[in-house]
Amino acid sequence: AQKVTQAQTEISVVEKEDVTLDCVYETRDTTYYLFWYKQPPSGELVFLIRRNSFDEQNEISGRYSWNFQKSTSSFNFTITASQVVDSAVYFCALRRNTGTASKLTFGTGTRLQVTL
Amino acid sequence: GAGVSQTPSNKVTEKGKYVELRCDPISGHTALYWYRQSLGQGPEFLIYFQGTGAADDSGLPNDRFFAVRPEGSVSTLKIQRTERGDSAVYLCASSAGTSWSTGQFFGPGTRLTVL
């Protein structure tokens, strides 16, 4: 069975602070894929990043960075110099690497509130 | 439009009624997924189609739920004898295939309320 845990239910920060959203996953598969999605108040899920389990290189995209550590089954997401527009619910998700199973297993999400 | 579209955006129905929710995927995307998101939770998988066939329907909660994709494009999620517990946002997503290299792109969802 696959499971994704986002232990932080809600985080509040002041604009320009850095913030890290934690994600821990469980899977018996040796190869798999990890994702982060953003769900702003409008409700639509926005794809942010995917990572395959072969690649443990950290990735940076503008103010966003991701730290994948297979040894601890974690895929954490950091926003540097947060902005009010970053306020949203963020979901981490896991997907098996098989020929047919491509569903996403989501965590329960972390609500990020960025205030002025 | 270029994105996934879903209709209606909101649906209010009475317990015991039948409802249909429609999803129009991104043009050319062969894979289509349905998820259900309850308040304060992450999306939960229901079913996905590769082309016209349901490749995995393991997430459908019971036989009141059914989905079709007859021409490999638009899909309809059908719920019979609705119950109050069916109230949720129903999300549709599509992707270019089942390869890992493609992400799933989500629509805005249909908010279903069963009174």
Predicted pLDDT at A42: 87
**pLDDT category of residue A101 using cuts at 50, 70 and 90:** very low
Q: What is the Cα–Cα distance from A21 to A6, expressed in whole angstroms? A: 8
Residues in B closer than 8 angstroms to A101, CB to CB, are: 56
B27 exposed, middle or buried (CB, 10 Å; 0-12, 13-18, 19+)? exposed
Q: What is the Cα–Cα distance from B30 to B32, expressed in whole angstroms? A: 7
Do B100 and A97 count as a contact with CB atoms less than 8 A apart? yes
Do B45 and A43 count as a contact with CB atoms less than 8 A apart? no
Predicted pLDDT at A96: 85
Q: Which residue of A has its CA nearest to B50?
A: A100
CA atoms within 13 A on the CB side of B108: 11
Strands A110-115 and A10-14, bridge-based pairing = parallel
Q: What is the Cα–Cα distance from A39 to B79, expressed in whole angstroms? A: 26
Predicted pLDDT at A100: 54
Name which of A3-12, A25-34, A99-108, B30-39 the model is least confident about.
A99-108
Cα–Cα nearest to A106, from B21, B37, B4: B37
**pLDDT category of residue A35 using cuts at 50, 70 and 90:** very high
Name which of A13-17, B30-34, B56-60, B101-105 the model is least confident about.
B101-105
Q: What is the Cα–Cα distance from B39 to A71, expressed in whole angstroms? A: 33
**pLDDT category of residue A50 using cuts at 50, 70 and 90:** confident
Q: What is the Cα–Cα distance from A83 to A79, expressed in whole angstroms? A: 9
Mutation target vs B (from A45, A51, A54, A105; most B CBs, 10 A cutoff) = A45
Residues in B closer than 8 angstroms to A98, CB to CB, are: none
Region A3-17 average pLDDT: 97
Residues in A closer than 8 angstroms to B108, CB to CB, are: 42-44
Mutation target vs A (from B36, B100, B105; most A CBs, 10 A cutoff) = B100
Region B47-55 average pLDDT: 90
Predicted pLDDT at A89: 97
Higher pLDDT, B2 or A98: B2
Do B43 and A104 count as a contact with CB atoms less than 8 A apart? yes
